[in-house]
A and B are shown apart, each in its own frame.
Chain A
Amino acid sequence: MAKLSFRTDFCKGCSLCVNACPKNVLAISKDKINAKGHHPVEAVNPDACVGCASCAIMCPDCIITVER
């Protein structure tokens, strides 16, 4: 069971992680706003995560920690 955690306040909502995820686990939040004023990423489908870390590898701001 893979677990994702986010440093949400560092997220800029660029969505590179959303596009990198092969299992469609992630999405950019429509209603939350973080400290930088961006809509941050969130795990909308966390049970589908296989812990491949593709999202974290593509994240320019290094906000994602992947555990498995």
Chain B
Amino acid sequence: MVVFKKPEALADVPLHYCPGCTHGIVHRLVAEVIDELGIEGKTIGVAPVGCSVMAYNYFNCDMVEASHGRAPAVATGLKRANPEGHVVFTYQGDGDLASIGMAETVHSAARNENITIIFINNAIYGMTGGQMAPTSLPGQVTQTSPYGRDVKACGYPVKICEMLSELEGPEYLERVAVNNVANVRKAKKAIKKAFENQLNNKGFSLVEVISTCPTNWGMTPQKALEWVDEKMIPYYPLGVYKDRSAESEEK
């Protein structure tokens, strides 16, 4: 009996990501969820700009490439054009979603647009060579903060889930990590719920995945996973930040 194999929705090509980059794990989780829900034929993904810019090569569903940061706006159009027929998700990094695409992110959440967003937070700009991102931790050494992020000059990191949870719009916000087997399983549950919410017409669902960037963090892949536990998770606590349906059931 096969207990684990490559999901059908993931294309049979080598991923271009660096060795040990957890983008691949999240790609697989999304593909597994698409398989389990049986929605490959009616799913449209929106690829961002960043390391995952070539995500359109890796999913077997239809994909659209958005300009930098505009994936939620493109997804809004796709979903509104065919609200019943299609499942629309975006796959965005922190440079895309939390920096140049902040306006699109916040407003699609405020409108409670019925889309699913997978947000990869690795606290750095990966594709361009490891510059400081809006999500870089205070004191974190990057190409553009060689002495560590100075909060007096550069401000504080943006906590997307906490920020969006203050809005009335979004249906579901959760932060997960993929640094060990247990967390990967939890991440898959969260991603599945985010897709199910869309199928049930509940509205805006965003899953923030704490990810790694071994190359630009300057660590081995294993050390990067440990760094997530030591530094990232204390600053970005995991958990459900908003789940409106569950909240209204309790009342």
Contacts and interface: CB of A to CB of B under 8 A. Distances in A.
A14 B221 contact: yes
Contacts of A66: 2-5
Nearest to A60: B24
Interface string A25-68: 00000000000101000000000000101101111111011111
Interface in B15-36: 15, 17-25, 28
A20 B225 CA distance: 11
B14 A54 contact: no
B207 interface: no
B201 interface: no
A61 B3 contact: no
A37 B75 CA distance: 38
Interface string B216-240: 0000111001000000000000000
A53 B3 contact: yes
Contacts of A56: 4
Contact of B24 (A19, A36, A38, A62): A62
A60 B225 contact: no
Contact of B21 (A10, A38, A60, A64): A60
Contacts of A65: 2, 4-6
A24 to B, nearest CB: 15
* Most chain B CB neighbours (cut-off 10 Å) among A12, A51, A62: A62
Contact of A16 (B10, B17, B28, B225): B225
7 contacts: A7-B6, A12-B18, A15-B222, A54-B181, A57-B184, A62-B24, A62-B28
